[in-house]
Amino acid sequence: MAAQQELSRGQWQAAQVSGAAGQLKSRQRAALAANGLDLGVGSAAELQASTDFMKEADVQQTLSNALRSAWGYRLAGTNYANRATMASGAAGAINPGMSAAGTLLTNAGQVSNGWYAIRDAMGANDIDIANRVGAAGGDAIDTLGRLRNWFE
């Protein structure tokens, strides 16, 4: 919407420039005629042609500036849309399951520290503890490996 407004503003400014140049040319023609010069030949004709040329250059510059400004607004809009898409993609990449897995791993480490403390306090050997874990439905071999630091 801002880009369209910028283009409209540029057209309005171009019309203002054109109108001002038309008034200038009218004043020039009146002054030339008041001095008795022929408006269609020589310096008088060249002055009017130069005024027309400068008017057209100013009008085109005004429209070009408006177009560049509108392009900037459109480019900014595209950039914002791309940033939103990237943020949405990053948000979608967050996996609650991985967060839960991290929590489980943290808790498993705390549980294993508890087992070591119990073992040390009870004086039980590694195999007894592994057998108790296996009887409770756990992985006895994994427990024995961890107690004997096989996985480090």
**Domain endpoint, select from 93, 109, 133:** 93
Among 2-16, 20-34, 41-55, 126-140, the least confident range: 126-140
Do residues 74 and 105 share a domain? no
Domain boundary among 77, 93, 109: 93
Does the pLDDT of residue 125 top 90, yes or no?
A: no
> Could you give the CA distance from residue 83 to residue 118 in angstroms, rounded to a whole number?
53
pLDDT, tens only, 37-96 = 999 999 999 999 999 999 999 999 999 999 988 898 888 888 888 888 888 877 766 666
pTM, full prediction:
0.54
Instruction: For tokens 């849309």, name the residue.
Output: 81
Tokens of 58: 């100013």
CA gap 77, 109 in Å, rounded = 49
The radius of gyration computed from the CA coordinates of the chain, to the nearest angstrom, equals 42
The domain in which residue 111 lies consists of 98-147
Asked whether residue 19 falls in the same domain as residue 75, the answer is: yes
